[in-house]
Chains A and B, each alone.
Chain A
Amino acid sequence: MSSSSAFNDEKGGSSSVGEPEYGHDPASGGIFSSDYKRHDDLKEMLDSNKDSLKLEAMKRIVAMIARGKNASDLFPAVVKNVACKNIEVKKLVYVYLVRYAEEQQDLALLSISTFQRGLKDPNQLIRASALRVLSSIRVTIIVPIMMLAIKEAASDMSPYVRKTAAHAIPKLYSLDPEQKDQLIEVIEKLLADKTTLVAGSVVMAFEEVCPERIDLIHKNYRKLCNLLIDVEEWGQVVIINMLTRYARTQFLNPNMNESLLEEGSGGDKTFYGSDEDEDDDEEEKDKKEEAHAMAKRKPYVMDPDHRLLLRNTKPLLQSRNAAVVMAVAQLYFHLAPKAEVGVIAKALVRLLRSHSEVQYVVLQNVATMTIKRRGMFEPYLKSFYIRSTDPTQIKVLKLEVLTNLANETNISTILREFQTYIKSMDKDFVAATIQAIGRCATNIGEVRDTCLNGLVQLLSNRDELVVAESVVVIKKLLQMQPEKHSDIIKHMAKLTDNIQVPMARASILWLIGEYCEHVPKIAPDVLRKMAKSFTNEEDIVKLQIINLAAKLYLTNSKQTKLLTQYVLNLAKYDQNYDIRDRARFIRQLIVPTEKSGALSKYAKKLFLALKPAPVLESPFKDRDHFQLGSLSHLLNAKAGGYQELPDWPEAAPDPSVRNVEVPEWTKCSSREKRKEKKVEKPFYSDSEGESGPTESADSESDSASGSESGSGSEESGSGSESEESEEGSESEEEEEEEDEDEKDKKKKKKQELKKPVQESESEQSSEEERKHQRKMKQCKSDTESESEEEDSESESSHSESEDSESEVEVKKKKKAAESKPPSKPVKKESKKEKKEMSLLDLDDFEPTPSPQVTPVNTFLSNSLVTDLEGLSLSDAVLSPATIAPSSALKSYELLHRITGEGLSVEYCFSRQPFSPDANMVAVQMQFTNNATSETKNLHMEDVKLQSGMRVKEFPEIELLPAGETATAVMGIDFCDSTQAANFQLCTHTRKFFVSIQPPVGELMRPVFLTENEFKKEQGQLMGMNEITEKLTLDVKCRNEHAIVQRVTTAANLSRVPCGSDKECRFAGRTVNSSSLVLVTVATKEEGAAQLTVNCEKMVIGTMLVKDILLALTQ
């Protein structure tokens, strides 16, 4: 401030003079001296305390940057505003900072602290943006700060921040490659992330930093496959490309048998044809035979993971994004069995309707594909027909594709099409067409004569370019069978008088020279003419004249000796040294002198040897060794950073590396792995994920009722999963393999099972939720067989116990909590009803007006969690009311249907944060209208509360038709007491007095503590605040999971990680006063146990002890 204002003073009033002049367009030209003035007034504006002035100044500065004008001298003035309150000013300052920080490193450091503060902000979006800008500042000094920030952000609770962390990784890497190892650790951690938001970005970082570390992918492979459809489109492209490479290293070639055959026969040919020593080849042959035999012994079976990839990428061919379609197409081209590659053709042809740049790239790739897999595109031949309005580069590429597609059956249509192209006005295109005809003629013997005739006709075309091109092509064709076509050669000889295009002249001369025996009379005459014009010819023509002369001298020296001498003499003094050299060389060879060497004897052999006919090949012939769709493929040259597509392995590497281990519950060591187990909840509720092998790991946390889910999970079919896990580390691999075999069958079954549910359910409800619903149904249908239920309960306790230990614990905890239906019976009923009414259950979408959608609340732990759920739980934002169902939450009756005259109401504590007011407990109410007439205007009135308590009413339900159910959420602040909230429930006709009394366990919300924090807090809550109770555990609840399950059912607490397996710890805070509630259950021999509750509020503590005791002993 001081410096720049001082500067202003010195300059005096210059700024005020400058302003009107440059006010509107600061960036437009101007002489240098005026630059000073202009920047001065900008500085002044930036220093003012009015946001509008600052904004105006920043806008002008950004406009300057946009035009590439230098604004770096403003740096000090701008950087001061980095902490400005106005969001737009701030954003523009960021833009400026990122642009110039590199040039003004020292000054840029001034801004760092602002970002460091931002990194700690409770709002996830602010944290993310701080990290984004911080990591974009390319100043080496702050590398350690960046590293720290990235590491921290990588374990942030918000997936959005984690995504930003993933973005920051390549930035830091490019700034300081030394950090690679540390960054790889972060990448590894983020790769294990479950959210679709992070997946694309972290794979991007992986590709930029450590594409060679393919081993990092193993554990995440299945997860990535399953998430793929829900990742944003740009991420999809990167993931698919990476997975293509991965699959090439891990799976066997699905076309192995065929290619072996091909190679085998190819190898044999060279073997017999070559003069190499036999032993080597013998060995080789043996090897080959061995391989062959091996292939025969072991018929190829596709790895289920390979299949998973193919299956999960296929729907993406329908993407609107051309890059995604192309990525899938190349994946299929490189990885799929031959029979399946065909599916990509249709999608690629669709892309041809897109912008011309897209067409250009797609056609390049199609051209490469058509060489290998011609059949694939044959049905779409007509889609490659050329329109006069296509840009030339597109025309040429289409022509290439058409040529590649030509075969005996379609050649006549193609040639007819080519004929119209020759009449085009675009001469470059015509030339390309002629070349194409030439290639068709060489490839397809049947039409060679037709093509040749056609081309000869073109020789009389008026356009010289067309003629020249024809000559060149004809020359190549003639080389294949010269003896038949001496009249064409004669015809061409005549053309030398008219054609001026050097390449064409050279071609004609070469032809005449080569086949001079077929035209013995004309050839010397041509040479005579050429000798006359020799000095005026182009270099390539001169060389051919010398060539012709030499050949004629050898065959017909009588007539041409003098001419040859003459030509060679002319060439001897030519300006071009190539020509002089050639002349000298040829003279030595052909003109016999006494000094002439041994070679001259063989001159005739040298010049008139039979030359192999040129092969007209597609320029796209060998391009497929580049990964299709890549820049390198397009350029046919390796671009920087290109990762080679590896060859298929001879034998498949161990597929078990991709198995995600099921950790033992009782140990806390394997946190990372545990994270794997959270099921991602994709938007597409019926995503492929359900049938994928990853399920094996995923499903266990939520589907104990395996028989229903039938999802290819290893646990499926076994209702009692807890037993399994107790048995310790059984080799999961075996099971999984078995399982995958059965997978297909099961999948079918499952789909059948799924359908009704699908129809009745709103699509948003996520997969997991569905499973829970299934579980619920099953629980019911199992007629409450105690043991079954027990199992399923202990199951969910698993998920919790493990959750509480893992990093994103709070979130997961929430998830788990939500997925417990509070009102099981009612919910079930309604589901069943809905099944009949095919038109979706509206109440699933009930616009529960609980403003869950309202954006970020600053109250971190609650609202953030909600936001987080928005990401991973598809339903959270949309229908908060429906989230809650899960077997563990109890529902209570508020109004019986008899007293309610047909209206019955149940409520449960959904254990979700009530976002409008963090101090409130969310109560989810479910209204069912059992009457025959509709109920209107359901709302609440006349709330009677104890002092301090508050209620947030649920929004009025305008109409509840007969037989329908509706849900709503209300919030009650109980003031940490178990006093009841009384109110009237009103319909359009009646009023009912009702009351809600919370169990003490619902007055708290879970918090995440580490073991140490827990111990520390516990130490502070001794004496009066600690209540200890001895108890004998219920027989069914002697294992850890059961305990966890029961405690968390009784009270809304989260588990705290704990080193000992004899103790379970839980923590929470009361909703209103945020007093800490700590619960410890220490188990001893024979079911004896000790329960300890530490809580500031003794009343709460006492009541909680009672409730938990009850839960654990019954």
Chain B
Amino acid sequence: MIHSLFLVNASGDIFLEKHWKSVVSRSVCDYFFEAQERATEPENVPPVIPTPHHYLISVLRHRIYFVAVIQSEVPPLFVIEFLHRVVDTFQDYFGVCTEAAIKDNVVVVYELLEEMLDNGFPLATESNILKELIKPPTILRTMVNTITGSTNVGEQLPTGQLSVVPWRRTGVKYTNNEAYFDVVEEIDAIIDKSGSTITAEIQGVIDACVKLTGMPDLTLSFMNPRLLDDVSFHPCVRFKRWEAERILSFIPPDGNFRLLSYHVSSQNLVAIPVYVKHNITFREGSSQGRFDLTLGPKQTMGKAVESVLVSSQLPRGVLNANLNPSQGTYTFDPVTKMLSWDVGKINPQKLPSLKGTMSLQAGASKPDENPTINIQLKIQQMAISGLKVNRLDMYGEKYKPFKGIKYMTKAGKFQVRT
């Protein structure tokens, strides 16, 4: 399966290598660098690159390429999914997954990689088990370790892998028992020039932060489970129970995890929370273009639309933009031609707008492409699909946990074509 792993940073240096079988020379990465050079954008490097003796499968996260070396047939998704799991684990351990964080914690990284794969086949990928094996570094622990010379490796041998509930570590204890659930929905939409919706769908997730003592067994039920069209679960969720009763029943892992991700059936009409009035024109023969953008709330169910951020990739011919926002700030990067406008909150009484001119390269012909506008936004305390959690119950433990559920709506891939 996975032979070796190389971590490559944005400037093309290999800063970490790990081999699970015989050592593969790092020169194998030259093929990767070639592909990287050919690709115009960093994300355009093909995820699978065949070389004469190996195959390179890579993922790009946090501007680091994780390049796995494969020697024989293996489902590519298997490797890709695993690499993402590695990144998630690093993030979980170090808070961020940057080159600096990895270099600082190189020993922990190595120990993690050693545990996650055996002979190239995944061994322990559940974060709960890994944390039993290798304690995540904290500032406090690092200090204590340097003073006392103790270690990050768990003193006790882990039993999590041997338990029936392999995703939950044993012997969990908290003084405050709490379970928080965030229902986060994202609207993916494409709005066409005239403002009509071409496609819109809602993707949601329920992220949980569960800090409960012992082995709690939770059930979570929805007011309107029929809304959920397609779901995927954390392995802890009992599938049959969901099939039969539409109730989520599970023994949660300890800490943060994604309980569920779902898709709201496309039959339901998706409420589009904002509208955009835009007028972006270039005149033939003139080196000026007009830019005029107004945002307004549409179907927000009375909630405020916050943290609005508008971004747009302007045509290559644009040299500079001289714009005037009615609120918030805007930036234009003349190199990447990326315009971004941090709007903030939309006030329905006074609609935010961004107006002004763009200067074009002198003598160049008018660009024939129109930029698309990407919008990010947040609406607190509402799940736009109308999904509601009915109740959350805990069994199996005696104490009374503190329970909390939060709703939020965000814009996912929300694009307006002009």
Contact = CB atoms under 8 A, between A and B. Distances in A.
A92 B110 CA distance: 9
A747 to B, nearest CB: 13
Given A87-B153, A361-B80, A382-B198, A66 B18 contact: yes
B234 A320 contact: yes
A326 B238 contact: no
Interface in A629-661: 629-632, 634-635, 637, 639-643
Interface in A826-875: 839-840, 842, 845, 847, 853-856, 867, 870-871, 873-875
A545 to B, nearest CB: 31
Interface in B18-59: 18-19, 21-23, 26, 40-41, 43-44, 46-48, 50, 55, 58-59
Interface stretch (A149-157, A233-241, A804-812): A233-241
A55 to B, nearest CB: 7
B75 A762 contact: no
Interface residues of A, number: 127
A51 interface: yes
A988 B125 CA distance: 48
A636 B47 CA distance: 15
Contact of A630 (B73, B84, B215, B230): B73
A259 interface: no
A391 interface: yes
Contacts of B164: 683, 764, 870-871, 873-878
A1075 interface: no
Given A353-B203, A462-B365, A642 B73 contact: yes
Interface residues of B, number: 114
Given A102-B22, A631-B74, A640-B72, 17 more contacts: A68-B26, A88-B151, A88-B152, A99-B19, A132-B118, A174-B21, A234-B122, A318-B233, A322-B77, A358-B84, A360-B46, A382-B198, A420-B417, A424-B369, A845-B217, A855-B157, A879-B396
A635 B47 CA distance: 11
Interface in B360-400: 365, 368-372, 374, 393, 395-398
B239 interface: yes
B163 interface: yes
A99 B22 CA distance: 8
B296 interface: no
B256 interface: no
Interface in A141-168: 158-160, 164, 167-168
A126 interface: yes
Nearest to A466: B368
Contacts of A450: none
A234 B72 contact: no
A424 B157 CA distance: 57
B18 A842 contact: no
A755 B70 CA distance: 47
Instruction: Kindly name the residue among B78, B152, B198, B258 whose own CB sees the greatest number of chain A CB atoms within 10 A.
Output: B78
A867 B238 contact: no
A201 B396 contact: no
B240 A684 contact: yes
B235 A233 contact: yes
A449 interface: no
B55 A631 contact: yes
A138 interface: yes
A750 B395 CA distance: 26
A787 B64 CA distance: 71
Contacts of B125: 233-234
Interface string B253-288: 000001001010010000000000000000000000
A63 B240 contact: no
A832 B341 CA distance: 64
A234 B370 contact: no
Interface in A49-70: 50-52, 55, 59, 62-63, 65-68
Nearest to B199: A382
B8 to A, nearest CB: 12
Nearest to A851: B171
Contacts of A639: 50, 55, 72-73
A477 to B, nearest CB: 23
Given A87-B155, A425-B313, A320 B235 contact: yes
Contacts, number: 309
Given A318-B239, A424-B369, A425-B313, A167 B70 contact: no
A518 to B, nearest CB: 32
B149 A326 contact: no
Given A234-B122, A388-B313, A634 B170 contact: no
Contacts of B159: 125, 853, 855-856, 867, 870
A201 to B, nearest CB: 7
B403 interface: no
12 contacts: A51-B149, A62-B110, A159-B162, A234-B121, A355-B61, A393-B46, A641-B72, A642-B73, A764-B217, A854-B171, A856-B157, A876-B164
B368 A461 contact: yes
B17 A388 contact: no
B73 A167 contact: no
Contacts of B19: 99
A292 B198 CA distance: 48
A966 to B, nearest CB: 11
Interface in A387-428: 387-389, 391-393, 417, 420, 423-425
4 A-B pairs closest in CB distance: A52-B149, A641-B72, A845-B396, A382-B199
Contacts of A634: 48, 76
B15 interface: yes
Interface in B228-253: 229-235, 238-241, 243-244, 249, 251
Q: Which of A67, A170, A323 has the most CB of B within 10 A?
A: A323
A755 B166 CA distance: 27
Interface in B156-208: 156-159, 161-166, 170-171, 188, 190, 192, 198-199, 201, 203
B411 to A, nearest CB: 12
Contacts of B74: 631
Interface string A118-137: 00000111100000100110
A931 B110 CA distance: 60
A327 B21 CA distance: 25
Given A320-B258, A322-B81, A388-B415, A383 B397 contact: no
Interface string A78-90: 0000000011100
A361 B59 contact: no
Interface in B93-124: 106-107, 109-111, 114, 118-119, 121-123
B317 to A, nearest CB: 10
Interface string A332-370: 000000000000001101100101111011100000000
Contact of A388 (B26, B240, B372): B372
Nearest to B80: A357
B315 interface: yes
Contacts of B43: 356, 391
Contacts of A323: 75, 77-78, 80-82
A876 B266 CA distance: 44
A355 B395 contact: no
A320 B106 CA distance: 29
A876 B47 CA distance: 44
Contacts of A643: 73
A357 to B, nearest CB: 4
A232 interface: yes
A847 B22 contact: no
Contacts of A357: 47, 58-60, 80, 84
Given A55-B151, A87-B151, A462-B365, A847 B397 contact: yes
Nearest to B119: A171
A89 B102 CA distance: 20
A212 B266 CA distance: 45
Contacts of A355: 59, 61, 80, 84
A1036 interface: no
Interface string A948-963: 0000000000100000
A347 B233 CA distance: 12
